[in-house]
Chain A
């Protein structure tokens, strides 16, 4: 019997282990790399983005942030279009993570302007009150570029000497922000997945003073990081004395301005709370 033959036992145990291994780990190499799943618009990392990604790995950001949006309402509404296999073909290693102590970052690219990230890395709680993220102010130091070219070669990513030259004078902060802005932004999901505003845009709370406290509270939580608690502007513009009609302000808050770095708040606030913020915004004047 095999309990008397250790070498045969070892071989049998190895064979047993290899069955599931081959079927669920080796075979999928073929399916995952199916050309049908490739996405033409997904591009490899530039030298600066790759350096940023390596800083993300070095600091262990993946211990608190995932990078995969599941096809579930609470994920897609909160973060954006669900993740596709073809979006990750240049990710060595993958950085999907396993725990969300912080939010998922799979769709962070283009969500906030660079200035938002700089402020947030320097002092996370100035942008997100009660956040428990460590401060990464120390990334404001020169980027070590000694391995940059070797890294691009190792991963077989295309680059030009000008790309490597352009790394001169960059900081680690520049690199990690360049990486953040690239993540999840290679497919045009913001345009295709944008929420449609249907029906007449009429403020249901027009001249309704009772919603102002809630509007102010929502403003403090979602808007003040960029526009300042007194609406004087900082990362974003001054919002006092807004002369745009309510419907225009609503559309901006609800759907965002992709080019200007204004995020869309429709998914988090919903229509009713967006109108409350609009009502509050229109009520604030310089004098």
Chain B
């Protein structure tokens, strides 16, 4: 039927498959660097040290797995919500090629040490420029599809999609402003405390515009699709949308509490971070209330399990995040392992669980088949849930312990522990974290196998039908 509608679904296939490839790379590198922290002998300079691999891990995760699948689902969702085929399938093909070229270039150049050092904006200016071209192509295609739509009303998912398109563009352009020295080297256009403030305005809003609004767009579309009942409140979605995109942009400096950035910027960031609980939890409640009378589907429908656990981790994340943004708690916890624990609840829990559900839903539909194994999907669910919980909980405990040790004083007021004395206590936690990562990786492999078998099954079916 989709073919009759003329939806460009081959391109969705391409983005889903490549985002899974880069997702596997992100997790493999992540597991490897978690071992490097626990066993420094696993650093192989110059190319395979923690310092060079960590940006590859974050870039493959955020841009390869995250953005890659958002591109897939924005194209998938937009066509269906507008009842219109994609404005330019040809442009989307160019986009898929460029996407893979950019991510591969990113991995190679980062391993070679070509690095701007700004977190999640590490790519040197030629690669960053390609990212800009990629994003413009993508944004134009989606916006033009919406403009020529056949469904007048724009569903809430389209709102989040449009906000993502402009938000990412503004953030990326400003924070990547550089003074080039050569093709492989540039300096940030801003200096010192100023550069820091620009960077974390970008860094935290990458969380907003990449790790929040796109998965919300996907969640709002696929939860009703998976359950068969509509979303609880469109109006609550609308209020949450505007307050979310208004408040997020004020909060970047909560990454810079107690630094030389002006105090009033820090205070505003702290206040707005706490206020953000309201729109974040409006989305959580919207998800939960949509389940009224449908909670039995948590047992019967594996898609719902992924989505509802995903939105639950979003809820936990948006309570924990604001608490970390309060000066007193930040003083204690910032710079410790608590923070990677927090981040991975968001990425492995919230974003990835929602993406898994969306992939499980769409792949059988665009390949005109059934999922290969619901049993394996359940195994996948429990493995990634266990792996992620081990990771996050271990890191929270490690962070609290190290923070307490760093703050311990002797009766004469001197510090009780040297830095290294607090660090060596983290080894057992780092072993546990690596174990959590391995379990998550196992779950991911089960997922990839299940999708591979689904697609392979669809192809043999198609051949059989033709014969």
Q: Please list the residues of chain A having a beta carbon within 8 angstroms of any beta carbon in chain B.
A: 3-4, 6-7, 9-10, 13-14, 16-21, 23-25, 28-29, 31-33, 54, 57-64, 66, 68, 70-74, 77-78, 83-85, 87-96, 98-104, 124-125, 128, 130-138, 147, 150-151, 154-155, 221-222, 266-273
Contact = CB atoms under 8 A, between A and B. Distances in A.
B368 to A, nearest CB: 31
A83 B260 contact: yes
Given A3-B154, A6-B158, 15 more contacts: A6-B147, A10-B162, A13-B162, A13-B245, A25-B249, A57-B116, A60-B117, A68-B259, A89-B191, A90-B191, A98-B119, A99-B339, A99-B340, A130-B424, A271-B414
24 contacts: A3-B159, A3-B238, A10-B143, A18-B249, A19-B246, A20-B248, A24-B252, A24-B253, A60-B49, A60-B55, A62-B117, A73-B409, A74-B407, A74-B415, A91-B195, A96-B196, A98-B255, A98-B335, A100-B335, A100-B336, A128-B420, A154-B179, A154-B181, A155-B187
From A68, A71, A90, A92, name the one whose CB has the most chain B CB atoms within 10 angstroms.
A92
B88 interface: no
A4 B40 contact: no
Given A21-B249, A63-B51, A131-B40, A268 B414 contact: yes
Give chain B's interface secondary structure class: helix
B415 A19 contact: no
Given A78-B406, A135-B45, A88 B118 contact: no
A32 B45 contact: no
User: Counting chain A CB atoms within 10 Å of each CB, which of B153, B190, B268 scores highest?
Assistant: B190
Interface stretch (B96-104, B163-171, B285-293, B359-367): B163-171
| 8 smallest beta-carbon distances between A and B, as pairs | A270-B414, A88-B192, A60-B51, A20-B249, A134-B43, A70-B258, A93-B188, A58-B113
Contacts of B45: 134-138
B247 interface: yes
Contacts of A77: 414-415
A148 to B, nearest CB: 10
A63 B120 CA distance: 12
B2 to A, nearest CB: 23
Interface residues of B, number: 97
Contacts of B277: none
Contacts of B440: none
Contacts of B149: 6
Interface of B: 36-38, 40, 43, 45-46, 49-52, 54-55, 113-119, 143, 146-147, 149, 152-154, 158-159, 162-163, 165-167, 170, 174, 179-182, 185, 187-199, 201, 238, 242, 245-253, 255-256, 258-262, 265, 268-269, 272, 331, 335-336, 339-340, 406-407, 409-410, 412-415, 418-421, 423-424, 427
Contact of B170 (A14, A99, A101): A14
Kindly name the residue among B251, B340, B410, B414 whose own CB sees the greatest number of chain A CB atoms within 10 A.
B414
A16 B358 CA distance: 29
A72 B113 CA distance: 34
Contact of A134 (B40, B114, B246, B424): B40
Nearest to A97: B335
B266 to A, nearest CB: 10
A77 B408 CA distance: 11
Contacts of A102: 419, 423
A13 B166 contact: yes
Given A13-B162, A92-B188, A92-B190, A21 B419 contact: no
A135 B43 CA distance: 8
A132 B33 CA distance: 12
Contact of A93 (B187, B331, B415, B419): B187
Interface-centre pick from B256, B259, B415 (highest chain A CB count, 10 A) = B259
A133 B179 CA distance: 31
